[in-house]
Amino acid sequence: MTQAPPPGPPAAPLTPPAAPTPRLLDDGRPLVSVGVALLATAVVLSTAYTRADGDLDWSNYAVGLVATLGLLGVAAVAYVTARSADPATDLVAWPGAFGVAGVGLMVALALDDHLLTAYVAGLSVVALSLAGLVLTGRAPFVVTAVLGLYVTYVKVLDDVISVPDDAGDDVAAISIALGLVLFAVLVTVAGWVRADTRVLAGAMAGALTVVGFAGLTGALVLAQAFAPLISFSLDEDMMTSEPPRFDGYDNDTWVILSLSLLLMLGWAVCAALTGHVVYRILVVAIAVSVTPLAAAVLSVEHPSWWGLVAGAIGGGLLLLALLQTEGTVRRRSLDAD
């Protein structure tokens, strides 16, 4: 009589299960990044030297064209044939995004200083980036889309609003600042439509806005420093006297400071809604870059007062956050008991 097996789970098989095969692309990602970097370098070199002497150098331009087409070609082939081995779409997103940027550069080189150069190049980058974003949902296409839109937007401001080249002019400085804020708001709102672009679109627009605000305020610092020397009379009786302080850029500076504060509050709200660190970084970046430059434009006699006020408000906010955290800890402790 055969004895029945004891009850319980079946015995483990004698042969251990085969280890899962590692994904091919995980091992190839460094290869992708290096390849993209070298082709992108060829595009940048072509951009730098194709019109170095004013005329179109076809040898340099051909290198940029071939590199751009190579990036786009790899992305297209990978999307059609290698999606099963490329689940993260790295072979599509990285070469595709840099190829899209290359298209914008090659178009700009071909059209040179034509009135429509910025529009054609910028909108081409935006259209191709949106197509890549729809197909893959990957972040590199968000970056190129925002950059292309920024180029187009700046050209629109220059053509429609007719912003003068002199950033020290009252209307010019305020118009530029308002235009940068509007760009940040529009791109952030547009990016909020999709969950996969909600953070990166706002971050890219915010970074461009921070750089723009810092550059604009820095230009005002230089303009404010040289304006008295330019307008100062060379009368012999006045040559030994100190030139008066020029205050023509004070209104611009106060407007920039006010808009910076509004941007800080807006990014703080975005940080609260998304929980992402990038919006908090933008809050810090615009405060520490614009405020010292603004103090220089305004020729603040006692910047220590500015530091005291900023430090007192910042310390109070950190203390409030600490008290809230301690309250949360106490509530959790009581709930555990």
Cα–Cα nearest to 97, from 62, 140, 128: 140
Write down the H helix ranges in 137-249.
139-156, 170-191, 198-231
d(CA 43, CA 106): 8
CA distance 126 to 124: 5
Residue 116 has pLDDT above 70, yes or no: yes
**Is the separation of the CB atoms in 108 and 152 below 8 Å?**
no
Residue 159, pLDDT score: 81
Q: pLDDT confidence of 14, banded at 50, 70, 90?
A: very low
Separation in Å, CA 250 to CA 160, 217, 286 = 26, 11, 19
Nearest-angstrom CA–CA distance, 3 and 18: 33
The mean per-residue pLDDT over the stretch 30-48 comes to: 91
Distance between CA atoms of residues 156 and 321, nearest Å: 43
Q: What is the pLDDT of residues 195-229, one digit of tens each?
A: 878 899 999 999 999 999 999 999 888 888 776 66
